[in-house]
Amino acid sequence: MSARSATSELEVARLIVQALNLDLAPEAIAPDAPLFGEGLGLDSIDALELALAISREYGLELRSDDARNRQVFASLRSLVAYIDETRAR
């Protein structure tokens, strides 16, 4: 990993809550709970808004046609891991 510090799950949870205007405390997002469907209940429009917020905040490009998107957005923990992995490059 590069000299950048690891992204915290709470930091990304705050970004999710803020970007999607969720009526939920960031601390209430379980790191391994699904973000979509049965978990947090996000949908495809939320995914687009979240990808835009991540792009702005971390300078990462998340493409809608990336085959890894389902894995990247599976949970808060997997999203943080992706951010850290991508920023380390």
The domains of the chain are located at 9-87
Q: Are 52 and 83 within 8 A, CB to CB? A: no
CA distances in angstroms from 60 to 4, 15, 40, 82, 83, listed in the order given: 14, 14, 23, 10, 8
Q: Kindly indicate whether the domain formed by 9-87 is annotated with CATH number 3.40.640.10.
A: no
- Encode pLDDT of 17-67 as tens digits: 999 999 999 999 999 999 998 889 999 899 999 999 999 999 998 888 889
What letter represents residue 46's amino acid? D
Residue 3 pLDDT grade (very low, low, confident, very high; cuts 50, 70, 90): very low
Rg (CA), the chain: 12
